[in-house]
A and B are shown apart, each in its own frame.
Chain A
């Protein structure tokens, strides 16, 4: 079974600063993916970034990057140069590769970017 834990229910950051959201996971799968999804007030789930567990290099998408520590089962999201539009719920999720298609989500972190 897979579990995903986000220990920060809420966080805030000043515009233009950097913030890191934490996520730990547990899985018995050898091959798996990890994701960060953003859910703005409109509630649509938007994929922010994805990491294949077999890749050692941390994924990066513009201002978003991850720190993937496989041995520690840690997958944090760093948002650089925070913008007001980054205000949203952020969900960490895991999914097995080649087997179960379902994603397991954490409970989310509510991020507020202050002007």
Chain B
């Protein structure tokens, strides 16, 4: 059973460009979470999605950031018009049900904004 797959592992963008990060949850998991990790910091919750629904986006910046988890295909975290402060590691986690502690994390996508 493949784990949570994230790609790309590394992404470099110039200021003003768009970044798209993808996450395929573990097989059978319908709950996806995105976290951001800034250097020397712990993970910060961004958004929680189920298939086709955003359940909790309280950690998402109000502008430029969006997330989706379509019926088919991976979850996408999209960052428009990136700025240097967006440079971070973005982690996706999935779970089989709505319960903390059953999260399985991917290896993260490291975004570098030049």
Contact = CB atoms under 8 A, between A and B. Distances in A.
Interface of A: 4, 33, 35, 42-47, 50, 91, 93, 95-97, 100-108
Contacts of B100: 33, 95-97, 101-103
A47 B48 CA distance: 19
B63 interface: no
Mostly, the A contact residues are strand
Contacts of A106: 42
B108 A107 contact: no
Contacts of B56: 100-102
Nearest to A42: B107
Contacts of B35: 103
Nearest to B6: A44
Given A33-B100, A97-B100, A103 B108 contact: no
B8 to A, nearest CB: 14
A32 to B, nearest CB: 8
B89 A103 contact: no
B41 to A, nearest CB: 6
Given A35-B101, A96-B100, A107-B42, A102 B48 contact: yes
